[in-house]
Amino acid sequence: MNYAMVGAVAAAAWLGGATAGHAQDQDRWTWSGRLAAGKTLEIRGINGGISAEPARGEVIEVVAEKHGRRSDPEDVRIEVVEHDEGVTICAVYPGSRTRPNTCERGGGRSNTRNNDVEVEFAVRVPRGVAFEGHNVNGDVDAIGLDGPVTLNTVNGSVRLETNSGDAEANTVNGGVNAVIRAIGTRSLRFRTVNGGITVSLPAGINADLEARTVNGSINTDFPVQVIGRMSPRHLTGRIGQGGRTLDLETVNGSIRLRTLP
């Protein structure tokens, strides 16, 4: 069976026989498919928000709502790219003839060329599937997921909650609020420039802590064995037995480490 996609890109059976399909009108685009546990669903937007929540079953669901004031929403297409690591879905704005915009795993070329269309992505992610949300102008949220989470934006806040122990979040102009409900083993990294960072973790976590701010304070519910010189704005130390890296950094904002009840 063939599945027509925006921009005449084809999506068919992939990743161990799983299937994918989509439907669209001018302002609304939908897609559904399956990924094996351990694979990654990546959403790449430019203008507008990205919001992810748990799926009810094993099917991924993606809805993209497009709207613009001056520009035509129909000019912005949604592309799906399958690859060995999973699937990448991008909002692709009109480019130039010599330098077209592209959708690729981990990046691609993206330039809005003063196009004011906003694309709001709403995503449902099955258990065990990793989620990545990458944005430029807009918030990125991933709440209640059961797999690893990576969130990035430039102008917007980041909010995540995962039952997996693996997470990373970055922004420039906005705050970071993360709730990590599992112990996990991989590094946890949360960074911003203009905004605060609040991270809530299980009481029994073991981590090597590195927390830095320029204009703000550092506050922690966890006992920390300080390593080196102690400073109100730079804290290096060990939580519990140490181990995984917990890296927190902001310039204009405070850092708060909270214990989950």
Q: Residues 196-235: pLDDT tens digits? A: 999 999 998 999 999 999 999 999 999 999 998 878 899 9
Do 186 and 234 fall into the same domain? yes
Three-class SS state of 240: coil
Mean pLDDT, rounded, of the chain: 88
- Which domain covers residue 214, as residue numbers? 165-261
Task: Report d(CA 88, CA 133) in Å as an integer.
Answer: 10
Do 87 and 206 fall into the same domain? no
Q: Is residue 139 part of a domain?
A: no
Q: Is residue 107 part of a domain?
A: yes
The 8-class DSSP code of residue 6 comes to: G
Q: Is residue 52 part of a domain?
A: yes
Task: Report d(CA 125, CA 53) in Å as an integer.
Answer: 6
Q: Is residue 140 part of a domain?
A: no
Average pLDDT rounded to a whole number, residues 44-56: 96
Q: What is the pTM of this model?
A: 0.87
Residues 112-137 have pLDDT tens digits of 778 889 999 999 999 999 999 999 99
Do 183 and 62 fall into the same domain? no
- Sheet with 158-162: strands ordered across: 20-24, 28-33, 60-67, 118-125, 50-54, 140-145, 158-162, 176-180, 197-201, 255-259, 218-220
- 48 or 22: which carries more pLDDT confidence? 48
Do 97 and 17 fall into the same domain? yes
Do 88 and 173 fall into the same domain? no
Do 35 and 81 fall into the same domain? yes
Do 112 and 231 fall into the same domain? no
Do 170 and 75 fall into the same domain? no
Do 193 and 124 fall into the same domain? no
Q: Is residue 79 part of a domain?
A: yes
pLDDT at 71 over 50: yes
* Number of structural domains found in the chain: 2
Do 117 and 208 fall into the same domain? no
Q: Is residue 156 part of a domain?
A: no
Percent of the chain with pLDDT over 90: 72
Do 16 and 114 fall into the same domain? yes
Q: Is residue 149 part of a domain?
A: no
Q: Is residue 200 part of a domain?
A: yes
Where does a domain end: 116, 134, 152? Answer: 134
Instruction: Encode burial over 196-210: b for 16+ CB neighbours within 10 A, e otherwise.
Output: bbbbbbeeebebbbb
Structure confidence at residue 6 as a pLDDT band (50, 70, 90): very low
Do 103 and 187 fall into the same domain? no
